[in-house]
């Protein structure tokens, strides 16, 4: 079907392990490609996709973006650029749930590396978001663990929780705590601490708060012109129909950025040492 002259766009909604093969085949046959996130099962496969997209620059390629932070993300970037909290120096992110705490449940596809590849919980999602807001991560340390190693006869090799220390190119240091086995824990929230105050973002409610040094955190409304709605599919089709329209994001190159970080997290867990993102 992907080679049919009647097909213009290939929309990939499979597990990550199939993304690279399908993407490269579709591009070779002159099709625009939209793929679900995460980008691929591994960095080499992601690199194949990226290189293929560069060989066919006339074709539109994109990865489904993370919805987390979409509503207020532009305001976050504006506040940081304006120095609302001074110079950012420290970040705390937690993403907790108990979806994997029941040992009697079968293994989810996200817990199986043959389907999901190197992806861990929401690590790729929030790496994408944080790098969009704060710049590139250049070094990581990490520890993680599989709490329930077998589910209905399936060996689980993706960590049930992972704790990541990340350093950004700007010098910002981040702590990212992610778990699928944390009952009664807070859910998904971010704090950015700066020399003059704090920004926080609740990813479940899109509540953005700003607090100045010596004051308290207060919610900020997101101006209508800065709000971003979910127009992913229509944006992609617009780019296919009009070569002058903005290219949808994240691009395959931007996907490579978070794939490299996730890969480095695995390396850091194996080495039990800091690893440069490369």
Tokens 């449940």, residue located: 105
Tokens in use for 143?
A: 């520890």
The CATH architecture assigned to 9-64+231-249 reads: 3-Layer(aba) Sandwich (3.40)
**Cβ proximity of 206 and 220 under 8 Å:** no
Per-residue pLDDT reduced to its tens digit, 64-120: 999 999 999 999 999 999 999 999 999 999 999 999 999 999 999 999 999 999 999
Mean pLDDT for 39-49 is: 98
Beta strands in the chain (DSSP E): 9-12, 32-35, 61-63, 88-96, 137-145, 150-151, 154-155, 161-168, 173-179, 188-194, 197-202, 207-212, 218-220, 275-276
Tokens in use for 164?
A: 């990541």
Taking alpha carbons only, the member of 43, 39, 33 closest to residue 10 is: 33
**Cβ proximity of 40 and 188 under 8 Å:** no
The alpha carbon dihedral of 74, 77, 80, 85 has a sign of positive
Q: How confident is the model at residue 179 (pLDDT cuts 50, 70, 90)?
A: very high
Tokens 């077998």, residue located: 150
Tokens in use for 274?
A: 């800091």
Summary mean pLDDT of the chain: 97
Tokens 């709490």, residue located: 147
Per-residue pLDDT reduced to its tens digit, 192-242: 999 999 999 999 999 999 999 999 999 999 999 999 999 999 999 999 999
The DSSP output letter for 17 is G
Domain boundaries, given as residue ranges, for the chain: 9-64+231-249, 73-227
H-type alpha helices, the chain? 19-28, 43-55, 73-81, 113-116, 123-134, 232-241, 252-271
Residue 126 has pLDDT above 90, yes or no: yes
The DSSP output letter for 160 is S
Superfamily per CATH, domain 73-227: Dihydrodipicolinate Reductase; domain 2 (3.30.360.10)
Residue 42 has pLDDT above 90, yes or no: yes
Cα(234)–Cα(8) distance, rounded to whole angstroms? 15
State pTM to two decimals. 0.96
Cβ partners under 8 Å of residue 274, min gap 6: 139, 140, 141, 268
Mean pLDDT for 175-188 is: 96
């Amino acid at each position: 079907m992907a080679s049919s002259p009647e097909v213009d766009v290939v929309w990939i909604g499979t597990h990550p392990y199939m993304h690279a093969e399908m993407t490269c085949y579709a591009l070779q046959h002159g099709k625009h490609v939209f793929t679900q996130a995460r980008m691929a099962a591994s960095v080499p496969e992601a690199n194949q996709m990226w290189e293929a997209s560069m060989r066919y620059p006339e074709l539109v390629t994109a990865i489904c973006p993370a919805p987390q932070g979409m509503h207020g993300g532009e305001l976050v970037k504006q506040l940081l650029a304006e120095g609302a909290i001074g110079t950012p120096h420290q970040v705390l992110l937690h993403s907790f749930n108990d979806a994997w705490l029941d040992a009697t449940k079968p293994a989810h596809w996200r817990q199986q590396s043959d389907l999901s590849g190197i992806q861990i919980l929401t690590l790729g999602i929030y790496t994408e978001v944080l790098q969009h807001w704060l710049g590139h991560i250049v070094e990581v340390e990490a520890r993680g663990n599989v709490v329930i190693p077998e589910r209905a006869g399936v060996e689980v090799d993706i960590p049930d929780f992972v704790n990541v220390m990340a350093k950004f190119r700007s010098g910002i240091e981040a702590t990212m705590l992610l778990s699928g086995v944390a009952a009664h824990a807070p859910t998904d929230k971010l704090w950015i601490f700066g020399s003059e105050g704090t920004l926080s973002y609740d990813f479940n409610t899109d509540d953005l708060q700003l607090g100045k040094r010596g004051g308290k955190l207060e919610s900020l409304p997101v101006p209508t012109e800065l709000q971003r709605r979910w127009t992913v599919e229509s944006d992609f089709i617009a780019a296919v129909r009009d070569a002058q329209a903005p290219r949808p994001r994240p691009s395959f190159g931007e996907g490579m950025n978070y794939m490299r970080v996730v890969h480095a997290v695995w390396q850091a867990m194996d080495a039990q040492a800091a690893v440069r993102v490369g």
